Structure 1
Amino acid sequence: MIVSQAQQRLHEVFGYSSFRGEQQAIIEHVVAGGDALVLMPTGGGKSLCYQLPALLRDGVAIVVSPLIALMQDQVDALQQLGVKAAFLNSSLDADEARQVTSQLIQGDLDILYVAPERLLLSGFLAQLEQVEMHTGIALFAIDEAHCVSEWGHDFRPEYRNLTALHTRFPNVPRIALTATADAPTRAEIVERLSLENAQQFVSSFDRPNIRYRVTPKHKAREQLETFLETEHANDAGIVYCLSRRKVEETAAWLKARGWDALPYHAGLDASVRNQNQRRFLREEGVIMVATIAFGMGIDKPNVRFVAHLDLPKSMESYYQETGRAGRDGLPANAWMTFGVGDVVSMRQMLDSSDAPAARKQVERQKLDALLGFCESVNCRHQTILRYFGEQHAGNCQQCDNCLHPVDTWDATQAAQMALSAVYRTGQCFGVVHLMDVLMGKSNPKVLQFSHQTLSVFGVGKDIVQSQWSSVFRQLVAGGFLHADIDSHGGLKLTEAARPVLKGLAEVWLRRDAETENRKISKSGRSANAKAAYDGLADDPLWLALKAKRLELAREQAVPPYVIFHDATLIEILNRRPGSLLEMSQIMGVGRAKLDRYGDDFLQVIVAN
């Protein structure tokens, strides 16, 4: 009975004919009253796992979310589907909050989004007890559940108190959801939220529609612009930078070059942040240049790329940040450029932080795993999946290493030269100076320290600077060298360097291709990102469908994707329905949207 009702509601409300992955099993489990921990990649359909049970169980579903700025868009999307949804957070004034509370108590809501701080107020919990008694609580959904982990990158202390839900409402099922959680974080979620008896649903972490690419850094902004010009000339995307200053400088540089780029970081005035985020969500082709302050829970499905100009802090961070691309399942790119400076700065930040020693050790291990990913010659999809405890075989054809296999070379002699240069110069200089010494460049700084008299001066002049840069980057990433905080980032030898210098160990490194030789052709976006959109840029019907979507979105002050996703528009374009009945068979067109927009889009088809 549950299955047939779920299938019917899936089609009628959401416009889908079938479930994906473990969605059906999760929904059946929660509808039957069971607790669940759901690990599912971004874009995998987590929201449906609590939204559909909310419609199938009696009472209102309470969704706990830390994402105040995005609750409005989530509620907008549900209301477009005909679902009675609302939110309660600090963005509402007193009258608006009273109105929502009245709807809640009277049983006029299907789903209510609540910030954890609001939920845990004693007065609000008392109101929920009244609701449970009179109209019922369907379920509690705890979104972004990894926020409960103090070892995670999005730790929210208030999440620790959400065990109150189980204590005060023991008969209401709970579903905790996250897109990012390694085994230790998963265990902590279970412990902190008292989910020991919950059934765990762990979907594959693979995002097959994302193409991963890592390229050595030389002129990062110019490299970024080449990537944008050749692959994403009119697309929405996110560019991540480590510092607020770099965010503002990069956004200003892109804007001056003609790109619609906006900055976002925690240091900006809240009104500016909100305005920029609103533009990114509600307009087409906007590029957001941001720190990690931007992104968790971003629902914009047609983000076609995520670019990193600086190294993220961990594999979890990288996976979550890149996962904001291609939520609609259409092709997307994850592009990153990094160099030895990134490795040095990240390790310096770690070593100089006030975190306890145990946490520093965990963070070092996470960073080392990310560095291993960057320098790997193996399939990047496989490397990510192995990190999260999942095996994946075969060539993915969706990463730089699989599409253009990387050579390795015996770099033992070059490594010995580099390590000797570090030792001979006193273990207090950075990469640029060390390369000058090895290449025999007698610049003023080399002369100042009399380094031109050292035995290592000029021994590496047969190796070009770009290759020396690659050698040092990989030696730092591989743990043979580390940056010393006291000498302002000067490189020092580690114990791992000793056997190399003594000739007891070989060093094999990846051979970097000539910069951007492994890039896509200049003719347009890469093959994977082009496939779904091939030929659409000049198609009159595609342009007309997008224009109608944008017009309807602006009339209602909602993001265009709330009307229809790109995938739905592409199916309308390809199938060209001639009636409302045919339109109802299009993926993503449920009953409410068919009634509201069906005629508008049929008229566009007829006119084109």
Structure 2
Amino acid sequence: MTDSARPRSTAAPSTVPLDILREVFGYDRFRGPQAAIVEHVSAGGDALVLMPTGGGKSLCYQIPAIARHRAGRGVTVVVSPLIALMHDQVGALEEAGVHAAFLNSTLSLEEAQRVERELMSGRLVLLYAAPERVTTPRFLAQLESLYLRGRLALFAIDEAHCVSQWGHDFRSEYLGLSVLHERFADVPRIALTATADEHTRADIVERLQLQDARVFISSFDRPNIRYTIVEKDNPRAQLLRFIRDEHEGEAGIVYCQSRKKVEETAAWLNDEGIAALPYHAGLDAAVRQQHQDRFLREEGLVMVATIAFGMGIDKPDVRFVAHLDLPKNIESYYQETGRAGRDGEPAEAWMAYGLADVVNQRRMIDESPASEDFKRVQRGKLDALLALAETHECRRVRLLAYFGEDYGAAAASPGGGDLLGVQAGRPTMRARCGNCDNCLAPPATWDATDAARKALSCIYRFHQHGAHGAAPRAFGAGHLIDVLRGKRTDKVAQYGHDRLSTFGIGADLTEAQWRGVLRQLVALGHVTAEGEYGTLHLADSARSVLRGEVHLLLRVPAEPARGRATRPRGARAAALPADLDAAAQARFLALKAWRAEVAREHNLPAYVVFHDATLAEMARLAPTTLEELGAVSGVGAKKLEAYGREILRVLAA
């Protein structure tokens, strides 16, 4: 051993969490509430952990698993619904020198039997398995055997919101996980999720029998994510401008509601010169896996997907998440946008939405076979998302308030403004985050109360007066706007609507302004849109608007941006280590090239080998000895041993 190598200790491996963090993962300190969670679970306590995507949830069970295994308590079973996440987590743990495995449908019978032998031998530190497998009689019998021998250390239930019918991703197979507490009552459990409102939290506690668990709730704020929501005006062109102006050549995810739209959008982006792949549940499983693997392993790809893609995706350098359709609720929006910027570098959440999105989401709730109680809750969740989309105040304030968080108390506001008070999940004072579209470019507003009354009056007259004596009927938004603006279309003439008193009373407003008025009326529940064609009907609350008792203040529709956008800080520039000088930049690029070769050789995503931030620190510090390299954040003992000399060679060259 050279004098520059890290000395090997003959002492037994430490069970102290901070020692494990340093030795295995190469980090000097925990973030946020990680230390308290790890200490509590390592000592045998139950926990429910709510932590944002990218906040370090995995370490909250991986370090207790290692500590308890080293203390002779056996294996930790991690319940995960996602094959891709299992593969990546196990690959990363093995790279760090922690013996882990997974049991899922990708394994052959022989491979599965080998993993089961490893499990029963006690050599495994962590085993990942899907909830369907965990609750089978065969697997429960194996757990029983381990339990009787005192070799069952911990249960970690990831994506715990899946157990709740109120959550955004309910999965019935999670309901069977209550058996873990019933049969192995003194084995500690930790349930983890990135998103859960009060309904969902209560459901998780009840269904997983975590009434005695300690609850840890981190801040939901992701300050590195910029939130932007625009009104639809040729959404494809808007998306293309956004990608080209802000994120050309960078990895991103574009969410669409339908499979057809996913495939059409991916093909169109490719035609426009942007490398894109489709992903939805209707694709062949092998194609889905191939596309997901490419997205994780290659740089600069855009994945166009339905919500079938994303949960558990651990790619740290996703620079943007775009929505071409409105999600179902704020939990879905938060979970999906949280896949951007997991490395802590600047990232963007961009969404285009319009009246049709509001109509479609309301119709899907109304036409679902669910109970009225469930529909009522889902309507409330949709209302909260629409309030986020329509607000002309800080979006981050409203987003965090939904989860019961006071933004002013959670962090100092980079954009200034008053502190926020929260009552019943609603912001009660103005605050500014300085990193959303409304803070960076406060929108103009206009009083739309009179316009709303005109629209409601026109809908009322549609229902009162048929054409040439025909029975009255309902019409959609397009026809209503034509009548309000005084356009003499064939349809207007056919139904005699050019003779209504409301014909032309809204000629002073643009079509975009009228669509904004109608969108807000539907969003607020004063107008309902029914049937396949979204015909408009007055709700009971429309009377209060017609009487002038409701005041509507709307955003002035923004003019579509032309040419390249000017930003206070650019995502492309920030995504690269801009603080490196020319020589360090060259070292960084050389390290990335070396990492790509290692990742291909090991069939792993590049970030599993080392994150960009770790490579950037290596490039900045330019260590010349193994001891110096071992001091770099993110370099654990196993990786130092496996790659240290190669890295020094690359840096020297």
What is the letter of the counterpart of residue 500 of structure 1? Answer: V
Offset at 1:480? 2.1
Partner in structure 1 of residue 548 of structure 2:
503
Give the alignment of 1:375-454 within 5 angstroms: 375-393=390-408, 394-426=431-463, 428-454=474-500
Partner in structure 2 of residue 30 of structure 1:
41
- Match among 339, 348, 360 for residue 333 of structure 1: 348
State the SS of the aligned residue for 1:47: helix
Give the alignment of 1:229-244 within 5 angstroms: 229-244=244-259
Offset at 1:597? 2.1
Distance in 1, matches of 2:587 and 2:383, equals 49
Distance in 2, matches of 1:145 and 1:321, equals 16
Q: Which range moves more in the overlay, 471-480 or 214-223?
A: 471-480
Give the alignment of 1:576-595 within 5 angstroms: 576-595=622-641
Offset at 1:279? 0.9
Distance in 2, matches of 1:540 and 1:474, equals 52
Offset at 1:424? 2.4
Offset at 1:386? 0.8
State the SS of the aligned residue for 2:407: coil
Q: Which range moves more in the overlay, 121-130 or 368-377?
A: 121-130
**Alignment check: 8 A CA contact 1:210 1:398 kept:** yes
State the SS of the aligned residue for 2:16: helix
Partner in structure 1 of residue 174 of structure 2:
159
Q: Tell me if 1:474 matches 2:520.
A: yes
Partner in structure 2 of residue 494 of structure 1:
539
Offset at 1:532? 4.6
Distance in 1, matches of 2:15 and 2:599, equals 33
Residues 317-336 of structure 1 deviation map (CA, whole Å, 9 limit, x = unaligned) = 11111111111111110000
Partner in structure 2 of residue 355 of structure 1:
370
- Match among 356, 361, 369 for residue 384 of structure 2: 369
Q: Tell me if 1:74 matches 2:111.
A: no
**Alignment check: 8 A CA contact 1:232 1:525 kept:** no
Ranges in structure 2 where 5+ consecutive residues have no aligned partner: 1-12, 409-430, 464-472
Ranges in structure 1 where 5+ consecutive residues have no aligned partner: none
Residues 31-83 of structure 1 deviation map (CA, whole Å, 9 limit, x = unaligned) = 11111111111111110011001111131111111112331111111111011
Partner in structure 2 of residue 305 of structure 1:
320
State the SS of the aligned residue for 2:379: helix
What is the letter of the counterpart of residue 516 of structure 2? Answer: S
Partner in structure 2 of residue 84 of structure 1:
99
Partner in structure 2 of residue 20 of structure 1:
31
Q: Which range moves more in the overlay, 326-335 or 401-410?
A: 401-410
Q: Tell me if 1:268 matches 2:274.
A: no
Give the alignment of 1:70-149 within 5 angstroms: 70-134=85-149, 136-149=151-164
Offset at 1:513? 2.5
What is the letter of the counterpart of residue 533 of structure 2? Answer: H
Residues 155-195 of structure 1 deviation map (CA, whole Å, 9 limit, x = unaligned) = 12221221221222222111111111111111111111111
TM-score (norm 1): 0.95
Distance in 2, matches of 1:508 and 1:434, equals 21
Change over 3 Å in CA distance of 1:4–1:169 after alignment to 2: closer
Partner in structure 2 of residue 545 of structure 1:
591
Partner in structure 1 of residue 576 of structure 2:
533
How much identity, in percent, do the aligned residues show? 58
Offset at 1:524? 7.5
What is the letter of the counterpart of residue 137 of structure 2? Answer: S
The CA RMSD measured in Å over matched residues stands at: 2.1
Distance in 2, matches of 1:277 and 1:37, equals 30
Change over 3 Å in CA distance of 1:495–1:278 after alignment to 2: same
Partner in structure 1 of residue 9 of structure 2:
none
State the SS of the aligned residue for 2:652: helix
Distance in 2, matches of 1:524 and 1:273, equals 35
State the SS of the aligned residue for 1:303: coil
**Alignment check: 8 A CA contact 2:84 2:313 kept:** no
**Alignment check: 8 A CA contact 1:331 1:530 kept:** no
Change over 3 Å in CA distance of 1:363–1:80 after alignment to 2: same
Distance in 2, matches of 1:454 and 1:540, equals 72
Offset at 1:530? 3.6
**Alignment check: 8 A CA contact 2:447 2:552 kept:** yes
Partner in structure 1 of residue 17 of structure 2:
6
State the SS of the aligned residue for 1:184: helix
Residues 295-339 of structure 1 deviation map (CA, whole Å, 9 limit, x = unaligned) = 111111111111000000001111111111111111110000000
Q: Tell me if 1:513 matches 2:562.
A: no
What is the letter of the counterpart of residue 26 of structure 2? Answer: G
Give the alignment of 1:47-62 within 5 angstroms: 47-57=58-68, 58=72, 59-62=74-77
Partner in structure 1 of residue 3 of structure 2:
none
Offset at 1:580? 2.2
Residues 215-239 of structure 1 deviation map (CA, whole Å, 9 limit, x = unaligned) = 0001111100111011111111110
Change over 3 Å in CA distance of 1:536–1:91 after alignment to 2: farther
State the SS of the aligned residue for 2:211: coil
What is the letter of the counterpart of residue 208 of structure 2? Answer: L
Q: Tell me if 1:216 matches 2:231.
A: yes
**Alignment check: 8 A CA contact 1:230 1:524 kept:** no
Residues 341-379 of structure 1 deviation map (CA, whole Å, 9 limit, x = unaligned) = 110111111111111111111111110110001001221
**Alignment check: 8 A CA contact 1:140 1:173 kept:** yes
**Alignment check: 8 A CA contact 2:14 2:20 kept:** no
TM-score (norm 2): 0.89
State the SS of the aligned residue for 1:278: helix
Distance in 2, matches of 1:532 and 1:396, equals 21
- Match among 593, 599, 615 for residue 569 of structure 1: 615
How many aligned positions are there?
604
Q: Which range moves more in the overlay, 183-192 or 431-440?
A: 431-440
